[in-house]
Structure 1
Amino acid sequence: MKNSILSILAFAAIVACKKTDTTNVDSTTDSSSMTTPADTGMMTNDSTSVSNRTETQSTLSDQDKKFADAAAKGGMMEVMAGQLAATNSTNEKVKTFGEMMVKDHTKANDELKSWAAKVSYQLPTGLDAEKQKAYDDLKAKKGADFDRKYTDMMVNDHKTTIADFKKQAADGTEISLKSFAQKTIPALEHHLMESEKTKAAVK
């Protein structure tokens, strides 16, 4: 009787050990199968993403970079000066023109930023020294002096900007940046026409 009980206990212990071993093997297999493919996929995607950004960046010519930088700084200047005109001028024509500059150039600036994000290009985030001085000088003007200074600036700036955009549309290398320049030219030409009208109205 005692021998029978011992035999039963020994058999139960063996079965329990086998069950534990099987559970451990399954657990190890599951853990491995869950982590390996995920890690491998992540590495492949990251590598591809970096490669694409590098390839796009390398397609930018000196002309592309020069244009993008100038367009970014010029666009910021147009918005900042337009905000001054909309709040500081006492002339309704100047105010209306300034509001149009803020609206249109904010839209163009956002399009340029979107392009830069896609190609991983770092645009300037502030005005250069020359534009900052021009802005500070404008900000110090009041009344009719402000109106004359602002409208003179807008006429001259838009003549220069149109020439820059036409050069990029003709000589640029990066296709989407060339397209941005080309499609923005009509709006800039309209701004030049309106700035000339506004300038004539404040003389």
Structure 2
Amino acid sequence: MKTLALLAPAMLIAAPAAAQVMTPAQYVSTAGASDLYEITSSKLVLQTTQDPKIRSFAQMMVMEHTKSTAQVKAAAARARVKAAPAKLNPLQTELVSELRSESGAARDARYIAQQKAAHNQALEVQKAYAMEGTSAPLKAAAAGIVPVVQQHVDMLKSM
């Protein structure tokens, strides 16, 4: 499991992002999984972190990724794209498991490392769909989400 933990951030970034234009359904699924991972991992770290900066960041992740999920779902409804309930992909499931296996400062450090990789990937997905997506309502949602994710990326640089 530890080997996967070392490779996971690179694998997150290498995940299918902008290699080809996603269908609207693929975008909704990918964005939903990304938000679910952010919310799940952040709630997990909130259970134990003693670091006020990490606590504040994790609380913001729960709030803002819940909001972006609602934005994508609303856009999907306008676009008449059926949105299945979000579910973690296998790598995200493993990353959450890795967080569960840690505690204290080690969990906090792993959380921040995972957040950096996950947000870089999410930014690429959102930018790509905003630029090249085929559904106007979903493109608009992605374009609105890009600056929020960029803000998260920028915050993570100082953590």
* Range into which the TM-score falls when normalised by the shorter chain: 0.7 to 0.9
Q: TM-score, normalised by structure 1?
A: 0.64
Alpha-carbon distance, 1:163 to partner: 0.8
CA distance in structure 2 between the partners assigned to 1:96 and 1:158 by the alignment: 17
Correspondence for 1:115 among 53, 75, 79? 75
CA-to-aligned-CA distance 1:108-141 (integer Å, 9 cap, x gap): 1111122233414133432122211111111221
Alpha carbons 2:24, 2:81 under 8 Å: kept: no
CA-to-aligned-CA distance 1:43-71 (integer Å, 9 cap, x gap): xxxxxxxxxxxxxxxxxx85322222110
Correspondence for 1:171 among 132, 138, 152? 132
Structure-1 residue corresponding to 2:49: 89
Is residue 2:66 matched to residue 1:106? yes
Alpha-carbon distance, 1:153 to partner: 0.6
1:47-196 aligned within 5 A: 62-118=22-78, 119-196=80-157
CA-to-aligned-CA distance 1:26-56 (integer Å, 9 cap, x gap): xxxxxxxxxxxxxxxxxxxxxxxxxxxxxxx
Identical columns (%) = 22
Alpha-carbon distance, 1:91 to partner: 1.0
CA distance in structure 1 between the partners assigned to 2:131 and 2:33 by the alignment: 21
Q: TM-score, normalised by structure 2?
A: 0.81
CA distance in structure 2 between the partners assigned to 1:144 and 1:126 by the alignment: 28
CA distance in structure 2 between the partners assigned to 1:175 and 1:131 by the alignment: 28
CA distance in structure 2 between the partners assigned to 1:86 and 1:68 by the alignment: 27
Ranges in structure 2 where 5+ consecutive residues have no aligned partner: 1-20
Which of the two has greater helix per residue? 1
Asked which structure has the greater RCO (Cα within 8 Å, sep 6+), the reply is: 2
Helix, strand or coil at the partner of 1:88? coil
CA distance in structure 1 between the partners assigned to 2:90 and 2:57 by the alignment: 25
**Counterpart residue type for residue 123 of structure 2:** I
Count of aligned pairs: 138
Structure-1 residue corresponding to 2:14: none
Alpha carbons 1:169, 1:179 under 8 Å: kept: yes
RMSD of equivalent CA atoms: 1.5
